Protein backbone atom coordinates (compact mmCIF):
# COMPACT_ATOMS: atom_id res chain seq x y z
CA UNK A 1 0.00 0.00 0.00
CA UNK A 2 1.41 3.33 -1.05
CA UNK A 3 1.44 6.14 1.48
CA UNK A 4 -1.18 8.83 0.97
CA UNK A 5 0.18 12.33 0.45
CA UNK A 6 -1.38 15.60 1.28
CA UNK A 7 -0.32 17.93 -1.47
CA UNK A 8 -0.61 21.67 -1.05
CA UNK A 9 0.29 22.67 -4.61
CA UNK A 10 0.26 20.26 -7.53
CA UNK A 11 1.03 20.33 -11.21
CA UNK A 12 -1.37 18.34 -13.37
CA UNK A 13 0.03 17.34 -16.77
CA UNK A 14 -2.67 16.59 -19.34
CA UNK A 15 -1.41 15.24 -22.63
CA UNK A 16 -3.09 16.19 -25.87
CA UNK A 17 -3.90 12.55 -26.49
CA UNK A 18 -5.79 12.36 -23.20
CA UNK A 19 -7.88 15.41 -24.21
CA UNK A 20 -8.88 13.77 -27.47
CA UNK A 21 -10.36 10.65 -25.90
CA UNK A 22 -11.91 8.47 -28.59
CA UNK A 23 -13.35 11.44 -30.44
CA UNK A 24 -12.71 11.98 -34.13
CA UNK A 25 -12.35 15.66 -33.26
CA UNK A 26 -9.15 16.81 -31.61
CA UNK A 27 -10.77 17.58 -28.28
CA UNK A 28 -13.55 15.79 -26.46
CA UNK A 29 -15.55 18.38 -24.49
CA UNK A 30 -16.72 15.63 -22.14
CA UNK A 31 -13.12 15.12 -21.09
CA UNK A 32 -12.35 18.82 -20.59
CA UNK A 33 -15.56 19.08 -18.51
CA UNK A 34 -14.62 16.05 -16.41
CA UNK A 35 -11.21 17.63 -15.75
CA UNK A 36 -12.83 20.96 -14.87
CA UNK A 37 -15.31 19.36 -12.45
CA UNK A 38 -12.69 17.34 -10.62
CA UNK A 39 -10.27 20.27 -10.41
CA UNK A 40 -13.10 22.49 -9.12
CA UNK A 41 -13.78 20.03 -6.29
CA UNK A 42 -10.18 20.08 -5.05
CA UNK A 43 -9.57 23.80 -5.41
CA UNK A 44 -12.55 24.28 -3.09
CA UNK A 45 -10.57 22.35 -0.49
CA UNK A 46 -7.74 24.85 -0.86
CA UNK A 47 -5.32 22.73 -2.91
CA UNK A 48 -3.53 24.86 -5.51
CA UNK A 49 -3.61 23.45 -9.03
CA UNK A 50 -1.43 24.36 -11.99
CA UNK A 51 -1.86 22.56 -15.30
CA UNK A 52 0.49 21.94 -18.22
CA UNK A 53 -1.29 20.88 -21.39
CA UNK A 54 0.25 18.95 -24.25
CA UNK A 55 -0.54 19.32 -27.90
CA UNK A 56 -0.09 15.87 -29.38
CA UNK A 57 -3.79 15.61 -30.28
CA UNK A 58 -3.24 18.39 -32.81
CA UNK A 59 0.41 18.43 -33.82
CA UNK A 60 3.58 16.69 -32.76
CA UNK A 61 6.73 18.39 -34.00
CA UNK A 62 8.99 15.36 -34.18
CA UNK A 63 6.65 13.35 -36.39
CA UNK A 64 6.26 16.20 -38.89
CA UNK A 65 9.87 17.34 -39.03
CA UNK A 66 11.47 16.44 -42.32
CA UNK A 67 8.26 16.19 -44.31
CA UNK A 68 7.52 18.98 -46.77
CA UNK A 69 10.81 20.61 -45.91
CA UNK A 70 9.69 21.40 -42.38
CA UNK A 71 12.69 21.80 -40.11
CA UNK A 72 12.39 20.54 -36.53
CA UNK A 73 12.30 23.98 -34.94
CA UNK A 74 9.43 25.19 -37.14
CA UNK A 75 7.57 21.94 -36.56
CA UNK A 76 8.04 22.31 -32.81
CA UNK A 77 6.76 25.88 -32.84
CA UNK A 78 3.59 24.60 -34.51
CA UNK A 79 3.41 21.94 -31.78
CA UNK A 80 3.74 24.60 -29.09
CA UNK A 81 0.96 26.63 -30.71
CA UNK A 82 -1.21 23.50 -30.59
CA UNK A 83 -0.83 23.43 -26.81
CA UNK A 84 -2.15 27.00 -26.68
CA UNK A 85 -5.33 25.90 -28.46
CA UNK A 86 -5.85 23.15 -25.90
CA UNK A 87 -5.12 25.57 -23.05
CA UNK A 88 -7.71 28.08 -24.22
CA UNK A 89 -10.30 25.34 -24.68
CA UNK A 90 -9.63 24.03 -21.19
CA UNK A 91 -9.71 27.53 -19.70
CA UNK A 92 -13.07 28.25 -21.33
CA UNK A 93 -14.45 24.99 -19.95
CA UNK A 94 -13.16 25.70 -16.44
CA UNK A 95 -14.54 29.22 -16.44
CA UNK A 96 -17.91 27.97 -17.71
CA UNK A 97 -18.33 26.25 -14.34
CA UNK A 98 -16.96 29.17 -12.37
CA UNK A 99 -13.31 28.28 -11.77
CA UNK A 100 -11.14 31.38 -12.15
CA UNK A 101 -8.41 30.33 -14.57
CA UNK A 102 -5.43 32.05 -16.15
CA UNK A 103 -3.45 30.86 -19.15
CA UNK A 104 0.22 31.79 -19.27
CA UNK A 105 2.21 31.15 -22.43
CA UNK A 106 5.93 30.46 -22.61
CA UNK A 107 6.22 32.89 -25.51
CA UNK A 108 4.26 36.08 -25.82
CA UNK A 109 0.77 36.05 -27.30
CA UNK A 110 -0.46 38.84 -25.12
CA UNK A 111 -3.80 39.36 -26.90
CA UNK A 112 -4.67 35.78 -26.08
CA UNK A 113 -3.09 35.01 -22.73
CA UNK A 114 -0.66 36.30 -20.14
CA UNK A 115 3.01 35.73 -20.68
CA UNK A 116 4.61 33.28 -18.26
CA UNK A 117 5.75 35.23 -15.22
CA UNK A 118 6.73 32.95 -12.38
CA UNK A 119 5.83 35.24 -9.52
CA UNK A 120 2.53 36.14 -11.08
CA UNK A 121 1.70 32.47 -11.59
CA UNK A 122 2.39 31.81 -7.92
CA UNK A 123 0.21 34.76 -6.92
CA UNK A 124 -2.69 33.42 -9.01
CA UNK A 125 -2.35 30.05 -7.31
CA UNK A 126 -2.30 31.65 -3.87
CA UNK A 127 -5.53 33.42 -4.76
CA UNK A 128 -7.14 30.10 -5.65
CA UNK A 129 -6.98 30.52 -9.42
CA UNK A 130 -6.00 27.63 -11.64
CA UNK A 131 -3.03 28.46 -13.87
CA UNK A 132 -2.67 26.71 -17.21
CA UNK A 133 0.84 26.81 -18.64
CA UNK A 134 0.81 26.70 -22.43
CA UNK A 135 3.42 26.62 -25.22
CA UNK A 136 5.56 24.10 -23.35
CA UNK A 137 8.95 25.44 -22.37
CA UNK A 138 8.88 27.89 -25.28
CA UNK A 139 11.82 26.07 -26.85
CA UNK A 140 11.89 23.60 -29.71
CA UNK A 141 13.39 20.14 -29.06
CA UNK A 142 11.63 19.87 -25.71
CA UNK A 143 8.35 18.28 -24.68
CA UNK A 144 5.45 19.34 -22.53
CA UNK A 145 6.50 16.66 -20.01
CA UNK A 146 9.73 18.60 -19.60
CA UNK A 147 7.69 21.80 -19.32
CA UNK A 148 5.67 20.10 -16.55
CA UNK A 149 8.83 19.15 -14.64
CA UNK A 150 10.32 22.61 -15.15
CA UNK A 151 7.24 24.55 -14.05
CA UNK A 152 6.81 22.25 -11.05
CA UNK A 153 10.32 23.08 -9.89
CA UNK A 154 9.90 26.80 -10.62
CA UNK A 155 6.63 27.31 -8.75
CA UNK A 156 7.59 24.96 -5.91
CA UNK A 157 4.78 22.54 -6.59
CA UNK A 158 5.19 19.23 -4.81
CA UNK A 159 4.35 16.69 -7.49
CA UNK A 160 3.76 16.11 -11.19
CA UNK A 161 0.46 14.31 -11.72
CA UNK A 162 0.65 12.84 -15.19
CA UNK A 163 -2.82 12.10 -16.52
CA UNK A 164 -2.74 9.51 -19.30
CA UNK A 165 -4.95 6.96 -21.02
CA UNK A 166 -3.41 4.03 -19.13
CA UNK A 167 -3.71 3.00 -15.49
CA UNK A 168 -0.05 3.61 -14.74
CA UNK A 169 3.31 2.05 -15.53
CA UNK A 170 3.41 -1.68 -16.29
CA UNK A 171 6.30 -4.12 -16.27
CA UNK A 172 5.44 -4.98 -19.89
CA UNK A 173 3.16 -3.64 -22.64
CA UNK A 174 -0.37 -4.50 -21.38
CA UNK A 175 -1.72 -4.42 -24.95
CA UNK A 176 0.60 -7.23 -26.00
CA UNK A 177 1.05 -9.09 -22.73
CA UNK A 178 -2.15 -9.83 -20.77
CA UNK A 179 -0.03 -10.78 -17.74
CA UNK A 180 1.68 -7.39 -17.58
CA UNK A 181 1.59 -6.09 -14.01
CA UNK A 182 0.85 -2.54 -12.92
CA UNK A 183 3.75 -1.24 -10.86
CA UNK A 184 2.63 0.76 -7.82
CA UNK A 185 5.97 2.37 -7.10
CA UNK A 186 9.13 2.92 -9.11
CA UNK A 187 12.36 4.81 -8.67
CA UNK A 188 13.60 7.39 -11.16
CA UNK A 189 16.50 5.04 -11.81
CA UNK A 190 14.10 2.20 -12.73
CA UNK A 191 12.45 4.46 -15.29
CA UNK A 192 15.78 5.53 -16.74
CA UNK A 193 17.61 2.20 -16.77
CA UNK A 194 14.65 0.10 -17.95
CA UNK A 195 13.81 2.76 -20.56
CA UNK A 196 10.17 2.75 -19.43
CA UNK A 197 8.19 5.07 -21.66
CA UNK A 198 6.80 7.18 -18.83
CA UNK A 199 8.37 10.50 -19.73
CA UNK A 200 11.29 11.48 -21.90
CA UNK A 201 14.72 11.41 -20.28
CA UNK A 202 15.02 15.18 -20.00
CA UNK A 203 11.77 15.35 -18.04
CA UNK A 204 12.45 12.42 -15.72
CA UNK A 205 16.00 13.59 -15.03
CA UNK A 206 14.74 17.05 -14.11
CA UNK A 207 12.29 15.44 -11.68
CA UNK A 208 15.03 13.27 -10.21
CA UNK A 209 17.46 16.16 -9.75
CA UNK A 210 14.81 18.19 -7.96
CA UNK A 211 13.22 15.34 -6.00
CA UNK A 212 9.86 15.86 -7.65
CA UNK A 213 7.66 12.77 -7.38
CA UNK A 214 5.62 11.81 -10.43
CA UNK A 215 2.26 10.04 -10.30
CA UNK A 216 1.12 8.40 -13.54
CA UNK A 217 -2.59 7.66 -13.61
CA UNK A 218 -5.60 7.12 -15.86
CA UNK A 219 -7.62 10.24 -16.52
CA UNK A 220 -10.55 8.30 -17.96
CA UNK A 221 -11.62 6.70 -14.68
CA UNK A 222 -14.09 9.02 -12.97
CA UNK A 223 -12.73 10.38 -9.71
CA UNK A 224 -9.09 9.65 -10.55
CA UNK A 225 -8.04 13.25 -11.11
CA UNK A 226 -9.35 14.39 -7.76
CA UNK A 227 -7.92 11.28 -6.10
CA UNK A 228 -4.49 12.01 -7.55
CA UNK A 229 -4.67 15.66 -6.51
CA UNK A 230 -5.81 14.72 -3.00
CA UNK A 231 -2.81 12.43 -2.70
CA UNK A 232 -4.78 9.19 -2.61
CA UNK A 233 -3.17 6.05 -3.93
CA UNK A 234 -3.74 5.89 -7.68
CA UNK A 235 -1.67 4.60 -10.60
CA UNK A 236 2.11 4.50 -10.26
CA UNK A 237 4.19 6.68 -7.96
CA UNK A 238 7.73 7.43 -9.14
CA UNK A 239 10.19 8.84 -6.65
CA UNK A 240 13.50 8.49 -4.82
N1 LIG B 1 6.94 21.33 -27.96
C2 LIG B 1 8.16 21.98 -28.04
N3 LIG B 1 8.74 22.45 -26.90
C4 LIG B 1 8.19 22.28 -25.67
C5 LIG B 1 6.96 21.59 -25.59
C6 LIG B 1 6.35 21.13 -26.75
O7 LIG B 1 8.70 22.15 -29.11
O8 LIG B 1 8.76 22.74 -24.67
C9 LIG B 1 6.25 20.92 -29.20
C10 LIG B 1 6.72 19.59 -29.78
O11 LIG B 1 6.71 19.68 -31.18
C12 LIG B 1 5.66 18.62 -29.30
C13 LIG B 1 4.41 19.46 -29.38
O14 LIG B 1 4.87 20.75 -28.96
O15 LIG B 1 5.57 17.51 -30.17
C16 LIG B 1 3.27 18.99 -28.49
O17 LIG B 1 3.73 18.71 -27.19
P18 LIG B 1 3.83 17.20 -26.62
O19 LIG B 1 4.17 16.26 -27.72
O20 LIG B 1 4.73 17.23 -25.43
O21 LIG B 1 2.34 16.98 -26.17
P22 LIG B 1 1.63 15.69 -25.53
O23 LIG B 1 2.42 14.46 -25.89
O24 LIG B 1 1.65 15.91 -24.05
O25 LIG B 1 0.25 15.74 -26.07
Q: Say if 4 falls within a structural domain.
A: no
Q: Cα(78) to centroid of ligand 1, in Å?
A: 9
Q: Say if 210 falls within a structural domain.
A: yes
Q: What is the pLDDT of residues 132-144, one digit of tens each?
A: 999 999 999 999 9
Give the domain extent around 37: 9-239
Domain count, the chain: 1
Select from 62, 79, 216 the residue to mutate for testing ligand 1; criterion: most ligand atoms less than 8 Å from CB: 79
Q: Say if 3 falls within a structural domain.
A: no
**Between β-strands 214-218 and 160-164, what pairing exists: parallel, antiparallel or unpaired?**
parallel
183: number of Cβ within 10 Å: 17
Look at residue 5 in the predicted model and tell me its pLDDT: 62
Q: Cα(46) to centroid of ligand 1, in Å?
A: 30
Phi, psi (degrees; rounded to nearest 5) at 43: -65, -30
Specify the ligand 1 atom closest to the Cα of 76: 11
In this prediction, the answer to ipTM > 0.90 reads yes
Q: Cα(60) to centroid of ligand 1, in Å?
A: 6
Q: Say if 1 falls within a structural domain.
A: no
- Are the C-beta atoms of residues 131 and 51 closer than 8 Å to each other? yes
pTM here is 0.95
Given CA atoms 147, 153, 155, 160 in this order, what sign does their dihedral have? positive
Q: Say if 191 falls within a structural domain.
A: yes
Amino acid sequence: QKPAYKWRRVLLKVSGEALAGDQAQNIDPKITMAIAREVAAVTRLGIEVAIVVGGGNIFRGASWAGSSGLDRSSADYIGMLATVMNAIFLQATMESIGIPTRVQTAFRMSEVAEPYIRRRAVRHLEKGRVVIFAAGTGNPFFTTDTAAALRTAEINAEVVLKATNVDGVYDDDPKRNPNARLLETLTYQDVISKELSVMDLTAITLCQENNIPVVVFNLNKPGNISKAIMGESVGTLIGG
